[in-house]
Amino acid sequence: MKRGNNLKETKYSILLALMISQALVLSFIESLIPYSVPIPGVKLGLTNIITLIVIIFFGMREAILVVIVRTVLSALFGGGLYTFLFSITGGIFSAIIMAFLYKNALGKLSITGISIAGAVSHNIGQLLVAGVTIKTSEIFYYTPVLMISGVITGLCIGICSANISKLLKKAHMCN
Amino acid sequence: MNMFKKGDFLLTVIVIVLALTALAFFKCYSSNDAKEQRIAIVKANGNILYRINLDNIKESRDIALPESSGEIIRVERGRIRFLSADCPDNLCVKTGWLSKKGDMAVCLPNRIIIKIEGMKDN
pLDDT at A102: 94
Q: What is the pLDDT of residue A136?
A: 76
- pLDDT number for residue A81: 82
Question: What pLDDT score was predicted for residue A175?
Answer: 57
With beta carbons less than 8 A apart as the criterion, state whether A49 and A164 touch.
Answer: yes
The answer to whether residues B62 and B17 belong to one domain is: no
Q: Is the CB of residue A140 less than 8 Å from the CB of residue A131?
A: yes
Q: What is the mean pLDDT of chain B?
A: 82
Our CA-based measurement puts residue B105 at a distance from the nearest CA of chain A, in whole angstroms, of 8
Query: Global pTM?
Result: 0.84
Which of these, A88, A156, A84, A91, lies nearest to A121 by C-alpha position? A91
Number of residues in chain A: 175
Q: Which residue of A has its CA nearest to B22?
A: A144
On average, the pLDDT of chain A sits at 88
Q: What is the pLDDT of residue A78?
A: 74
Measured between alpha carbons, how far is B83 from A88 in angstroms, rounded to an integer? 29
For residues B44-65, give the mean pLDDT. Answer: 83
pLDDT at A16 over 70: yes
C-alpha B58/C-alpha A139 separation (Å) is: 30
pLDDT of residue B112: 86
- Are residues B46 and B7 located together in one domain of the fold? no
Q: Could you tell me if B65 and B71 are in contact, meaning their C-beta atoms sit under 8 angstroms apart?
A: yes
The whole-number pLDDT of residue A2 equals 56
Q: B115 and B59 share a domain?
A: yes
Q: What is the pLDDT of residues A103-126, one digit of tens each?
A: 998 888 999 999 999 999 999 999
Domain limits at B27?
1-31
A40: nearest CA in chain B? B91
CATH number (domain holding residue B57): 2.60.320.10
Whether the CB-CB separation of A160 and A49 falls below 8 Å is answered with yes
Least confident of A67-76, A89-98, A134-143: A134-143
Residue A157 and residue A127: Cα distance in Å, rounded?
A: 20
Q: Which residues have a Cβ under 8 Å from the Cβ of A62 and sit 6 or more positions away?
A: A16, A54
* Residues B55 and B83 both lie in one domain: yes
Give the helix ranges, DSSP H, for chain A: 2-32, 47-57, 60-77, 81-104, 111-133, 143-171
Q: B23 and B80: one domain?
A: no
Residue B62 pLDDT class (50, 70, 90 cuts): confident
- Which of B11, B23, B106 is nearest residue A144 as measured by Cβ atoms? B23
* Same domain, residue pair B77 and B113: yes
Tell me which chain B residues have a C-beta less than 8 angstroms from the C-beta of A106: 1
* Mutation for testing the A interface, residue in B3, B4, B6, B8 having most A CBs under 10 Å: B8
Chain B residues with CB under 8 Å of a chain A CB are 1-8, 11-12, 15-16, 18-20, 22-23, 26, 43, 45-46, 87-89, 91-92, 94-96, 102, 104-106, 108-109, 111-113, 115
Q: Are residues B42 and B19 in the same domain?
A: no
Between A77-86, A141-150, B74-83, the lowest mean confidence (pLDDT) is in: A77-86
Based on the fold, state whether residues B100 and B47 are members of the same structural domain: yes
Q: How many CB atoms lie within 10 A of CB A139?
A: 23
Residue A1: the pLDDT is: 47
Structural domains for chain A = 2-171 (1.10.1760.20)
Contacts of A108 in chain B (CB under 8 A): 5-7
- For residues B64 and B83, the answer to whether their CB atoms sit within 8 Å is no
Torsion, Cα A149 B73 A77 A57, to 10 degrees, reads: -10
User: Is residue B67 within a helix (H) or strand (E), and if so which, with residue range?
Assistant: none
pLDDT at B2 over 90: no
Residue B1: the pLDDT is: 47
Q: Give the Cα separation of A30 and B114 in Å (integer).
A: 27
Distance from CA of B54 to the nearest CA of A (A): 19
Of B8, B45, B108, the CB nearest to A110: B8
Pairs of CB atoms within 8 A across A/B: 111
Top residue of A114, A137, A138, A155 to mutate, by most chain B CBs within 10 Å, is A138
Rounded Cα distance, B11 and A152, in Å: 13
Say whether A164 sits in a helix, a strand or coil.
helix
Q: Looking at the structure, do residues B55 and B108 belong to the same domain, yes or no?
A: yes
Shared-domain flag, residues B49 and B23:
no
pLDDT at A72: 94
Position B87 confidence tier, pLDDT thresholds 50, 70, 90: confident
| Pair (B19, B67) in one structural domain | no
Digit-coded pLDDT (tens) for B3-16: 778 889 999 999 99
Number of domains in chain B: 2
Q: What three-state secondary structure class fits B51? A: strand
> Does A108 sit within 8 Å of B5, measured CB to CB?
yes
The fraction of chain A above a pLDDT of 90, given in percent, is 56
Chain A residues touching B29 at Cβ < 8 A: none
* Selected residue with higher pLDDT from B58 and A159: A159
Q: Look at residue A107 in the predicted model and tell me its pLDDT.
A: 85
B71 and B108 both lie in a single domain: yes
What mean pLDDT is predicted for residues A31-53? Answer: 86
Element (H, E) at B101: none
Q: Which pLDDT score is estimated for A101?
A: 95
- C-alpha to C-alpha distance for B9 and A174, rounded to whole angstroms: 30
